[in-house]
Structure 1
Amino acid sequence: MTTTTPLPTESALPAATGNANWRRFRRNPGAMVGLVLLALLVSAALLGPALTGDPAAQNLGARLQAPSSSHPLGTDQLGRDVLARVLNGARISLGLGVSVMLASLLVGSVVGLVAGLRGGWWDEGLMRVTDIFLAFPGLILAMAISAALGPSLTNVLIAVALVSWPTYARLIRAQVLALREREFVEAARALGSTQGRIAVRHLLPNALAPLLVQGSFDVGSAILTAAGLGFIGFGAQPPTPEWGAMVSETRNYIGPAPWASSAPAVAILLTVLAFNLLGDGLRDVFDPRAAR
């Protein structure tokens, strides 16, 4: 009597794929370090401000105090608790980085989908506009936009997003050009699907893997760019505890009180490192050949 092995059900296939992806991700030590770092940073951003009090509270009698039990990371030139400011700044920097990535992804995806699907002069015109943005150094262009709009966190978000979207447009366009002649797209056209439906239901889901990888890298890049703008005065204004602005405010006291500027600088370093390591892990998951 012969026995047959039952075929996996449709519900089991995504679970099996997810388990395989997790095993591939877990085999990357750097990716796991990035994931743990990111989990700690998000937890600190969510829970830290409730435990440390007002980051703007000044105590001039306790200015530039070294780290102690009452102030684990010391105090700055105005007697403000550095730990409270770093933890509150985590909310600002992480929120800004994710918001910039999402805004850039939205604009770039629309441009890339339209260029790749429509072709012709649509493709030519949109790609030339993209080339214009890519021709300028990102930080210089972000500085110019921030200077024109005025210093604020909202304007920093707009400036960095305007600098970042061309990467997604190029990436989406390349994916669309590779997928638009595939059999499943031709079948959707034969069934009468509109270009918009094909883009949303068939092309965009199949382009998510490289977008996720690029997005994880870009969150760290956006945080770094925003910190640079804050450092030179184009970003958050005092007393907002944004990491780049904190480093700028305390740079003159790096000799007598190095903790005041080094704490936000280390926070920037760890956050950007976490997202870069996470991006490396995601790249290995979605492109096993590159990992090998």
Structure 2
Amino acid sequence: MTTTSLKPRRTENAALRKLRRNSGAMLGFVLLVLLVASALLGPLFLGSPGAQDLAARLSVPSAAHWLGTDQLGRDVLTRVLSGARISLGLGVGVMLSALIVGSLIGLLAGLLGGWWDEALMRLTDIFLAFPSLILAMAISAALGPNLTNVMIAVALVSWPTYARLIRAQVLALREREFVEAARALGSSQTRVALRHLLPNSFAPLLVQGSFDVGSAILTAAGLGFIGFGAQPPTPEWGAMVSETRNYIAQAPWASSAPAVAILLTVLAFNLIGDGLRDVFDPRGR
């Protein structure tokens, strides 16, 4: 085996070792694994999140209801774990949608240049000119408040970051020797983009995606809280906090449980993103 073939594996192993030594990233991974496991397995054992027991409304945490009940007697733990499926799925779906759209636009802008670059970047600037939450509220209100429209709204305000990121990577890479060599060998623009430019832009995309999953969950929860997102009785964390905010003095557990779930989930993705940034940032190395 040649030295050249060993180099990528050595680099990969060094990156993994550095990531394992990052205590923050490891804490984030542990939190994420626990959240995913709870989201997948919890509702299988705890029953329906919509089951009501008005006789037990606003019950304090006990052996029967580990996190108490809400104003309709629904088990808060069951609803929080069911909401984890919704929030995690929404966050990952938004990130993937925004990544695909933003990467395509950034790739076209960086490769084609000229008026294509100007037009696509001015479109990106228009989206970046508005506060993301305000723009997401407007889009969600226009489409109608439900989970599907929330995903569309949050994805539409998230793609410009990826477009800018990919464009910068393409501009930095398109004149490199390996890209020029691929063109000299007759590779088409599409092959150059998919075989050489996108793979070499994967590291910053991975870091940005880790941060954006948490950001998407937080934005969706904000929309749910103010009534532009998921609607009751959907056990979405933001909507749960909104439903129980009038009972915070009587039953603080009903609103604090989904709020803590939002906090831990966003913290997990941010810790993972920080760890990945430390590994892939050449200045850090």
TM bucket by the smaller chain?
Answer: over 0.9
| Whole-angstrom distance in 2 between the partners of 1:22 and 1:206 | 18
Match of residue 212, structure 1, among 196, 201, 206: 206
What is the 5 A alignment of 1:26-41?
A: 26-41=20-35
What is the 5 A alignment of 1:74-223?
A: 74-223=68-217
| Whole-angstrom distance in 1 between the partners of 2:15 and 2:36 | 23
TM-fit CA distance, 1:21: 1.1
TM-fit CA distance, 1:7: 4.4
TM-fit CA distance, 1:27: 1.8
| Whole-angstrom distance in 2 between the partners of 1:234 and 1:98 | 20
| Whole-angstrom distance in 2 between the partners of 1:156 and 1:95 | 12
* TM-score (norm: length of structure 2): 0.98
Equivalence for 2:260: 266
1:164-192 Cα deviation digits (max 9, x unpaired): 00000000000000000001110111111
Match of residue 236, structure 2, among 242, 249, 253: 242
TM-fit CA distance, 1:9: 7.3
Local SS of the residue matching 1:129 = helix
The 10-residue stretch of structure 1 (128-137 or 44-53) with the greater mean CA deviation from structure 2: 44-53
Alignment partner of 1:18 is 2:12:
yes
| Whole-angstrom distance in 2 between the partners of 1:101 and 1:199 | 21
* TM-score (norm: length of structure 1): 0.95
Structure 2 residue runs without a partner (length 5+): none
Equivalence for 1:224: 218
**Aligned residues with identical type, % of pairs:** 80
CA RMSD of aligned residues (A): 1.2
| Whole-angstrom distance in 2 between the partners of 1:13 and 1:184 | 17
What is the 5 A alignment of 1:24-63?
A: 24-63=18-57
TM-fit CA distance, 1:26: 1.6
TM-fit CA distance, 1:200: 0.5
Equivalence for 1:281: 275
| Whole-angstrom distance in 2 between the partners of 1:196 and 1:22 | 31
Letter in 2 for 1:213: V
Letter in 1 for 2:237: W
| Whole-angstrom distance in 1 between the partners of 2:245 and 2:32 | 27
TM-fit CA distance, 1:14: 4.2
TM-fit CA distance, 1:209: 0.3
1:182-217 Cα deviation digits (max 9, x unpaired): 011101111111111111110000000000000000
TM-fit CA distance, 1:288: 4.8
| Whole-angstrom distance in 2 between the partners of 1:50 and 1:148 | 36
TM-fit CA distance, 1:28: 1.4
| Whole-angstrom distance in 2 between the partners of 1:13 and 1:77 | 60
Local SS of the residue matching 1:65 = coil
TM-fit CA distance, 1:13: 4.3
TM-fit CA distance, 1:23: 1.1
Q: How many residues align?
A: 285
